[in-house]
Amino acid sequence: MSIRPLHDRVIIKRIEAERTTASGIVIPDSAGEKPDQGEVIAVGKGKILENGSVRPLDVKVGDRVLFGKYAGQSVKVNGEEVLVAREEDILAVIEK
Amino acid sequence: MSIRPLHDRVIIKRIEAERTTASGIVIPDSAGEKPDQGEVIAVGKGKILENGSVRPLDVKVGDRVLFGKYAGQSVKVNGEEVLVAREEDILAVIEK
Amino acid sequence: MSIRPLHDRVIIKRIEAERTTASGIVIPDSAGEKPDQGEVIAVGKGKILENGSVRPLDVKVGDRVLFGKYAGQSVKVNGEEVLVAREEDILAVIEK
Amino acid sequence: MSIRPLHDRVIIKRIEAERTTASGIVIPDSAGEKPDQGEVIAVGKGKILENGSVRPLDVKVGDRVLFGKYAGQSVKVNGEEVLVAREEDILAVIEK
Amino acid sequence: MSIRPLHDRVIIKRIEAERTTASGIVIPDSAGEKPDQGEVIAVGKGKILENGSVRPLDVKVGDRVLFGKYAGQSVKVNGEEVLVAREEDILAVIEK
Amino acid sequence: MSIRPLHDRVIIKRIEAERTTASGIVIPDSAGEKPDQGEVIAVGKGKILENGSVRPLDVKVGDRVLFGKYAGQSVKVNGEEVLVAREEDILAVIEK
Amino acid sequence: MSIRPLHDRVIIKRIEAERTTASGIVIPDSAGEKPDQGEVIAVGKGKILENGSVRPLDVKVGDRVLFGKYAGQSVKVNGEEVLVAREEDILAVIEK
C-alpha cells in the first residue's frame, strides 16, 4: 500500500534532528515540539499552472528538507505518522 | 438517481479507517470524529482555467483518498451521507 | 414578467426535499431550516473570463441542483421567493 | 446636467416595489428599508480587462434591475437620490 | 510649482456642493462633513496593466467628479488642501 | 558605501516641509509627526511583471515625492535615517 | 553539508551592525533586538512565474542585504542560526 500526493503536495517523514552535533543542522524549538525537518517519501506530479500545464516539483524522493513549523497536515501511513505538505511549504533542501 | 458534481468538485463516500491494523493508513483523530478518508463516487468534468479550457481532474471514481478534516460539505444521496469537496481539498490518493 | 440573471448567476426555486423517502436525496439540516436543493429556473449568459470571452454555464433551466447553505440572495419573483446564486455556489446536479 | 459613471459602474434610480401586487416582483425587507430594485439611468463604457480591452456592460439605460442590499453608494443627482453601483452588484434584469 | 500624480492617481480639488439648488447634484452627508465631489486638477499617465502597457485614464483635468467618502489622501498643494486618489475611487463624471 | 533597493523599491530621504510658506506644499499632520515628502536618493531596476519582464520605475533620483504616512520602512544609511518604500507607495512627484 | 533554498528563497546570515560607526548603515532598533541586515549565503534557482518560467534572483551569495524585521524563519545550519527568507523580503543590497 502506497500513497500518491496530488499535484504540488509532498509526503514527508519527520526526522529527529541530531541536536548535540556541532556540525548538524538543528531547528531551534521548544522542548517537546516536533522537529521541522524530514525526508521526502512521495511527491505529486507537479504544480498546475494557470495555463493548465504542469511544473514538476523541485524536490524528489529521498531529499532531506526543512519546512515551516505549521506546514501541512499529519496523517498515518502504514502505522507511521507522516506530513502532507505543499512544495511551497518547503524552505530548503539539505544537501550532504 | 445519480449526482453530477460541477467542475472541480468530487463526491466522496467516507470510509471508516481500520484503526487497529498495523499496516493500514489511519488518520489520527479524537474519539467520535469522522474519518478523513473515503472513496470517490463521482467527479466533475474538471477545473476551469482562466483561459476557459478545462483541466480533467487527477482523481477518478473508485479512488481511495485522504482529505482535510474541514473539507467540503456533507449531503445525503439515496439516504447515505456523502461529502462534496473540491479536488483541491484532496491531499493524496491511497494506492494498493 | 421574467427575470434574466447576469453573467454567471442563476435563479433557483427551492424544493422541499422528501425527507422520509429512503431513496431520495436529503440534505441534513436542523428543523425549520430551508432546504438546500432546488430547480434552476433561469441562467445567465455565462461566466466572463479574464480575456473577455464568455464561458456558458454548466447548468441549465430545469436542472435540479444542490447548493451551499449560505449561497446567494433571496428575492421574490411573481410572488414566489427564489434564490439568485452564482454557478460557483452550486455543488452538484441531481440526475434522474 | 448629466452624470457619466466610470468603467463598469452604473447609475440606478430606485423603484418602490409594488408590494401588494400578487404578480409583482417584491424584495422581502424589513419595514422602512430601501427597495433593492431600480431603473438604470446611466452606464459606464464597460469593464476594463487585464489586457486593457473594454467589455461593454450587459445592462443598458432603461433596464429594471435587482441588486444586493448593500450595493453601491448613494448620491443625489438633480435633487434626486440615486445609487452608483458596479455591474457586478446587479443580480438580474427584470424583463417584461 | 506643480504636482504630477503617479500612474492611475489623480489630484482632486474638492468643491462645496450647492446644497440649496434644486437642480444641483448634492451628496447627502452629515453636517460638517467634507463634500465628495471635486474638480480634477492633475492626472497620472495611466493605469499600468499586467502586461506592462499603460491604459490612459478616463478622466481629464477640469472634469468634475464624484468620489467615495473615504477615497484617497489629503495633502496641501500651494497652501490649498487637495485629494490624491486613484481613478478607481472615482464614481462618475458630472457633465454639464 | 551605497544602497541599491531591489525591484520596485526606492530609497527616500525625508524633507522637512516649509510649513510657513504660503506657496509651499505642506502635508497636514499633527505636531511632531514626520513629514510625508522627501527626495528620492536611489531607485530599484523596476517592477517585475507577471511575464517576467521589468517595467522601469516612474520616479528617478532627485525627484521630490509625496508618500503615504505609513509607507515603507525606516533604516539608517551612513548615519542618516531614510525610508525604503515601494513605488506603489508614492502618491505624486512635486515638479518645480 | 550545505543547504539549498527552494525557488525564490535565500539563506541569510545576520550581521551585527556597527552601531557606533558614523558612516555605517545602522538599523534603528530597541536594545536586544536582532539586527536586520546580513550576508546572503545561499540563493534559490529563482522565482517561478505564472507561465512556468523561472526568473533568477536579483541577489547573489556574498551580498550584504537589508530585510524587514519580521522577514523569514530562523533555522540553524552547522550550529549557526540563519534566516530563510524570500527575495521579496529583501529591501536593498548594501554596496561598498
Least confident of A58-62, C12-16, G42-46: C12-16
The alpha carbon of residue A24 is apart from the nearest alpha carbon of chain G, in Å, by: 5
Region A19-24 average pLDDT:
49
Can you give the pLDDT at residue E26? 53
The Cα–Cα gap between G26 and G44 comes to 27
Kindly write down the DSSP assignment for every residue of chain F, as one continuous string: -EEEE-TTEEEEEE----TT-TTS------TTPPPSEEEEEEE-S-EEPTTS-EEPPS--TT-EEEE-TT-SEEEEETTEEEEEEEGGGEEEEEE-
Region C38-63 average pLDDT:
93
pLDDT digits (tens, 9 = 90+) for E5-61: 999 999 999 987 555 444 555 545 444 445 588 999 999 999 998 888 899 999 999
Among partner residues A24, A36, A92, which is closest to G4 by beta-carbon distance? Answer: A92
Contacting residues for A9 by C-beta, under 8 A, at least 6 apart: A44, A84, A85, A86, A87, B91, B92
Region F48-69 average pLDDT:
91
Q: Which residues of D touch E (CB under 8 A)?
A: 1-7, 9, 11, 42, 45, 48, 50-52, 73-79, 81, 84
- Cell, residue F43: 531607485
For residue G42, the chain A residues in CB contact (below 8 A) are 92
Question: How many other CB atoms are found less than 10 A from the CB of residue B50?
Answer: 13
- This prediction has a pTM of 0.80
Tell me whether chains B and F touch (3+ CB pairs under 8 A): no
pLDDT digits (tens, 9 = 90+) for B37-70: 899 999 999 999 888 889 999 999 999 999 988 8
Can you give the pLDDT at residue E17? 59
The Cα–Cα gap between C44 and C56 comes to 8
Least confident of C67-81, D23-37, G4-18: D23-37
The alpha carbon of residue G33 is apart from the nearest alpha carbon of chain A, in Å, by: 18
pLDDT digits (tens, 9 = 90+) for E66-78: 998 888 988 877 7
Q: Which residues of E touch D (CB under 8 A)?
A: 22-28, 36, 47, 49-51, 53, 55, 58-59, 66, 68-69, 87, 90-96
> Which sign, positive or negative, has the C-alpha torsion B9, B15, B19, B23?
negative
For chain C, what is the mean pLDDT? 82
Q: Which residue of G has its CA nearest to F76?
A: G26
Cβ-defined contact of B6 to C50 (cutoff 8 Å): no
Among partner residues A27, A49, A69, which is closest to G52 by beta-carbon distance? Answer: A49
Can you give the pLDDT at residue C18? 54
CA distances (Å), origin G17, targets D95, F83, G27, G51, G64: 71, 18, 7, 40, 11
Cβ-defined contact of B25 to A73 (cutoff 8 Å): no
For residue E45, the chain D residues in CB contact (below 8 A) are none
Among partner residues D28, D55, D90, which is closest to C48 by beta-carbon distance? Answer: D55
Q: Which residue of A has its CA nearest to B64?
A: A3
Grid-cell match 477545473, residue found: B47
Highest mean pLDDT pick, C69-73, D38-42, G70-74: D38-42
Q: Which residues of B touch A (CB under 8 A)?
A: 22-28, 36, 47, 49-51, 53, 55, 58-59, 66, 68-69, 87, 90-96
Among partner residues E36, E69, E92, which is closest to D6 by beta-carbon distance? Answer: E92
Can you give the pLDDT at residue G70? 83
Can you give the pLDDT at residue D30? 45
Highest mean pLDDT pick, C1-5, C81-85, D67-71: C81-85
The alpha carbon of residue G78 is apart from the nearest alpha carbon of chain A, in Å, by: 4
> Which sign, positive or negative, has the C-alpha torsion B29, B34, B40, B42?
negative
Contacting residues for E47 by C-beta, under 8 A, at least 6 apart: D48, E7, E8, E54, E55, E57, E87
Any bridge partners for residue A93, and if so which?
A65, G4
Region D66-72 average pLDDT:
87
Cβ-defined contact of G87 to F1 (cutoff 8 Å): no
Can you give the pLDDT at residue A21? 44
Task: Provide, rounded to the nearest whole percent, the portion of chain C with pLDDT above 70.
Answer: 79
Q: Check pLDDT > 90 for residue C95.
A: no
pLDDT digits (tens, 9 = 90+) for D5-24: 999 999 999 987 555 444 55
Region G29-53 average pLDDT:
79
Answer whether F86's CB lies under 8 Å from F70's CB. no
Q: What is the DSSP letter of A26?
A: B
Among partner residues E25, E58, E59, which is closest to D77 by beta-carbon distance? Answer: E25
Chains that touch F (3 or more CB pairs under 8 A): E, G
Cβ-defined contact of F25 to E51 (cutoff 8 Å): no
Q: What is the DSSP letter of E56?
A: P
Cβ-defined contact of D25 to C81 (cutoff 8 Å): no
Can you give the pLDDT at residue C88? 92
Q: Check pLDDT > 50 for residue C30.
A: no
Q: What is the DSSP letter of E61?
A: T
CA distances (Å), origin B29, targets A74, B35, B68, B90, F7: 10, 8, 12, 17, 46
Kindly write down the DSSP assignment for every residue of B52-90, as one continuous string: S-EEPPS--TT-EEEE-TT-SEEEEETTEEEEEEEGGGE
Q: Check pLDDT > 80 for residue F41.
A: yes
Can you give the pLDDT at residue F32? 42
Q: Check pLDDT > 80 for residue D62.
A: yes
For residue G87, the chain F residues in CB contact (below 8 A) are 6
For residue A53, the chain B residues in CB contact (below 8 A) are none
Cβ-defined contact of F58 to E78 (cutoff 8 Å): no
- When comparing pLDDT for A66 and D27, which is higher? A66
Q: Check pLDDT > 50 for residue C33.
A: no
Closest CA to E10 of E94, E95, E77, E89: E89
Region G28-38 average pLDDT:
58
CA distances (Å), origin A40, targets A58, C34, D85, D91: 12, 47, 51, 48
